[in-house]
Structure 1
Amino acid sequence: MKVLHCIPNFSITTETFIYDQVVAIEQSGVQSAILTANRMNETSRPFDKVYLSPIKSVINERVTQALALRLQLLPYMIDYKTWARVIDEFKPDVIHCHTGNAVKIWMHVSDKLGIKIPTLASLHGSDVNSEPLIRPKYRAVLAAAGKKDFIQWTVPSEFLKHKTTLNLSVPAAKIKVVHNAFNPMFLSEKAKVTFDNLRIISVGRFINCKGHQFLIDAFSILLPQFPDATLTLVGGGALEEQLKAQVQQLGMSEQVHFIDKVEHVKLPSLLASHNVYVQPSIRDEVTFQEESFGVAALEAMATGLPTVVSDCGGLTELAGLTNTAAVKVAEQKNAKSIAAAISHLFENRATLTETERAEVGHLFSSEMNTAAILESYSSLIS
């Protein structure tokens, strides 16, 4: 079997789960190639067979992106000749589109070239619960794709499956839930949790839907009870200065630490040096973004860290899939609820047991994820 992976930007730093999946599929024996418009992180994300088909540039990258996405001129900017050459040369049995924008590109190519190749469309989050609501033509193209008989779909959670049927009109029968996998290095790095001082950590871009402002407020509520507590925020992003100003206004600059970037291989040990993980995500009322699954929270659970998640999107589903008292669900946008959940876990010295960590490792293993994707490929070409 030969699979051509369509990934618009290969590989974005935050899309580790996509890169890991493609590598695992290749290692399973499936001959794989990647077609991308933009090659990124080539040293840290190597892959043998990568075809480049850039979107036609207009003036500069910013103008090009605006024309392609905001003004919906993408069909006129695709290099169809390169697509035709790659398909003729590689002769894929399956096209695997990673993200909604990949589906959109492939639909334009399929229509323009008049070809139909069995297709697996994998959606992950904002491509379902945000972009369809703010980009009408995007929604129309993906809704049309949902009616095509040669396309099947995967999403990482039941929450996102429901959103895909609601926002993109894709029939539920065509959608398979395939849980994201996480790197097993998080299982090998067992958190040696101590409860001398409260040490909270959260990992996620500093954007509105991640809800950091509510975690900072929750931390201010906890400080009188735990005066030696610390909070580490890992991510970087547009709201960093705003969040730092909030921390300074609350007089907590000595207790709250910001880290822009951490190499993925160093993240397990950083997590293991804390004793509570918090994912305080919210539904952004402007962009409509919600947490579709929560890989960062899953990685923290794998190290054994007690974990607080908000009742946002697929996070509650993630909490419900594991039988543990070390995961608490707090009300989103509610600092008091988040603080209470953190305090409960810390005071009860909660940690995931080895059995619970093994359960997490099994449910969300690369092997389970890869097997589900390979089964989807087989059903497409049978």
Structure 2
Amino acid sequence: MRVLHYIPNFSMSTETFIYDQVTALEKAGIESAVVTAKRVNEQSRPFELVYFCPIKTVINERFTQAFALRLQLLPYMIDYKRWQEVIDEFKPDVVHCHTGNGVKTWMHVSEKLNLNIPTLASLHGSDVNSEPLIRAKYRAVLKKAGSKDFIKWTVPSEFLKRKTVENLDVPGKKITVVHNSFNSMFLSTKQEKSFDTLNIVSVGRLINCKGHEFLIRALAVLHKDYPNATLTLIGGGELKEHLQGLTDQLALTKHVKFIDMVSHQALPDLLSSYNVYAQPSIRDDVTFQEESFGVAALEAMASGLATVVSECGGLTELVSLVDTPAVKVVPQRDPESLAGAIAELYKNEASLTLAQRHKLAELFSIDMNTASIKRLYSELTQ
């Protein structure tokens, strides 16, 4: 079987799970090619067969994005001739679109070129719970895609499946939940954790829906009993300066560390140097974005870290599959509850056992993920 993956930006650091899925499918015998509008991280994310189909540039990249997305002029900026060349050369049995914007572009291409190639549309988060609510044209295009018989859909959680039905009018019977997987390297971290000092870590872009403000405020609460407690935030983003200002305001500057980026390969060892992981995500009041699944929290748990997550989107669903007192759920926007849960895990020297970590591997293995996608490819081509 020949599968053409359309990934608008291949491969972004925040989309490791997509890259891992595509490479795993190829290793599992699926003859694969990637078509992309922008190639990034080429050295660290190699792939043998990549076709380049950029959208037409208007002045510069910033203006191009504005014309394509905000002004909804994408259909006039696609190089349809180049797309036809790719289709003719690779001759895919299935087109697999990753992200809603990937689906949107492919809908324009398939209609312009009069194609009805069996298509798998994989949605991941903001492309369901944010984009359709703030961009009417985006919603209209994906709603139309939901009515197409040659398209099936995947999402990583039951939460996102409900949102896809609600926000995009895609029939539920067309949507399959395929949980994201995690790399087995997270199982190789040391089992024993040090509890000499409370050291908290969180991984995620510094954007509003990640709720970092409430984690910093929780650290201020914890400092009443644990004055040496530290917090490390891994990930860059637009709120970095604001969050640094908050740490200054709360006299926590020496206790909060900001790390803009850590390679995925280095992350397991880094996580193992902490004793509590926290994911304090919220539903953003402006963009409506919320957690669809929680890959970062899953990776932390797989590393053995006691974990606290907020009651947000797919995070609750994720931890419901893990039966252990080392994982707790707290209300959104509640520093006191967040601090209390972290303190309890730390006092109990909680961590996931090796058996629990391997149970996660059974539930969220790349093999399970690959098998589910291959089955959907077969259904599409029957």
Provide the C-alpha distance between the structure 2 equivalents of 1:321 and 1:171, rounded to a whole number of angstroms: 26
Provide the C-alpha distance between the structure 2 equivalents of 1:214 and 1:191, rounded to a whole number of angstroms: 29
Retained in 2: the 8 A contact 1:309–1:329? yes
Q: Residue 179 of structure 2 corresponds to which residue in structure 1?
A: 179
Q: 3-state DSSP class of the match of 1:265?
A: coil
Retained in 1: the 8 A contact 2:191–2:354? no
Q: 3-state DSSP class of the match of 1:264?
A: coil
Q: 3-state DSSP class of the match of 1:254?
A: helix
Provide the C-alpha distance between the structure 1 equivalents of 2:123 and 2:114, rounded to a whole number of angstroms: 24
Provide the C-alpha distance between the structure 1 equivalents of 2:121 and 2:115, rounded to a whole number of angstroms: 16
Provide the C-alpha distance between the structure 1 equivalents of 2:190 and 2:314, rounded to a whole number of angstroms: 25
The question of 1:316 aligning with 2:322 is answered no
The residue identity in structure 1 corresponding to 2:201 is I
The question of 1:16 aligning with 2:9 is answered no
Provide the C-alpha distance between the structure 2 equivalents of 1:258 and 1:276, rounded to a whole number of angstroms: 17
Paired residues for 1:1-382 under 5 Å:
1-382=1-382
Deviation at 1:138, TM superposition (A): 0.3
Deviation at 1:175, TM superposition (A): 0.3
The residue identity in structure 1 corresponding to 2:3 is V
Provide the C-alpha distance between the structure 2 equivalents of 1:118 and 1:69, rounded to a whole number of angstroms: 26
Retained in 2: the 8 A contact 1:192–1:273? no
Deviation at 1:355, TM superposition (A): 1.0
Provide the C-alpha distance between the structure 1 equivalents of 2:176 and 2:317, rounded to a whole number of angstroms: 16
The residue identity in structure 2 corresponding to 1:365 is S
Q: Spell out, residue by residue over 1:102-146, the C-alpha distance to the aligned partner (whole angstroms, 9 max, x if none).
A: 000000011001110000000000000000000000000000000
Unpaired runs of 5+ residues, structure 1, are none
Retained in 1: the 8 A contact 2:282–2:312? yes
Retained in 1: the 8 A contact 2:67–2:73? yes
The residue identity in structure 2 corresponding to 1:51 is Y
Retained in 2: the 8 A contact 1:316–1:329? yes
Provide the C-alpha distance between the structure 2 equivalents of 1:324 and 1:361, rounded to a whole number of angstroms: 15
Retained in 1: the 8 A contact 2:2–2:94? yes
Q: 3-state DSSP class of the match of 2:200?
A: strand
Q: 3-state DSSP class of the match of 1:307?
A: strand
The residue identity in structure 1 corresponding to 2:67 is L
Provide the C-alpha distance between the structure 2 equivalents of 1:270 and 1:90, rounded to a whole number of angstroms: 41
Give the alignment's TM-score, normalised by structure 2: 0.99
Deviation at 1:348, TM superposition (A): 1.4
Which runs of at least 4 in structure 1 moved beyond 6 Å after TM superposition? none
Retained in 1: the 8 A contact 2:217–2:335? yes
The residue identity in structure 2 corresponding to 1:264 is H
Give the alignment's TM-score, normalised by structure 1: 0.99
Retained in 2: the 8 A contact 1:206–1:238? yes
Provide the C-alpha distance between the structure 2 equivalents of 1:361 and 1:7, rounded to a whole number of angstroms: 26
Q: 3-state DSSP class of the match of 1:4?
A: strand
The residue identity in structure 1 corresponding to 2:188 is S
The residue identity in structure 1 corresponding to 2:2 is K
Deviation at 1:192, TM superposition (A): 2.6
Q: How many residues of Structure 1 are paired with residues of Structure 2 in the alignment?
A: 382
The residue identity in structure 2 corresponding to 1:220 is A
The residue identity in structure 1 corresponding to 2:325 is A
Q: Which moved more, 1:311-320 or 1:184-193?
A: 184-193
Deviation at 1:190, TM superposition (A): 3.0
Provide the C-alpha distance between the structure 1 equivalents of 2:122 and 2:219, rounded to a whole number of angstroms: 37
Identity between Structure 1 and Structure 2 (%): 66
Retained in 1: the 8 A contact 2:55–2:79? yes
Retained in 1: the 8 A contact 2:120–2:152? yes
Query: What's the Cα RMSD here?
Result: 0.6
Provide the C-alpha distance between the structure 1 equivalents of 2:323 and 2:123, rounded to a whole number of angstroms: 27
Provide the C-alpha distance between the structure 2 equivalents of 1:190 and 1:63, rounded to a whole number of angstroms: 48
Q: 3-state DSSP class of the match of 2:265?
A: helix
Provide the C-alpha distance between the structure 1 equivalents of 2:18 and 2:220, rounded to a whole number of angstroms: 36
The residue identity in structure 1 corresponding to 2:71 is L
The residue identity in structure 2 corresponding to 1:350 is A
Retained in 2: the 8 A contact 1:191–1:305? no
Deviation at 1:191, TM superposition (A): 4.4
Q: Spell out, residue by residue over 1:239-284, the C-alpha distance to the aligned partner (whole angstroms, 9 max, x if none).
A: 0010000001111111111111111111111100000000000000
Q: 3-state DSSP class of the match of 1:14?
A: helix
Deviation at 1:238, TM superposition (A): 0.5
Retained in 1: the 8 A contact 2:214–2:335? yes
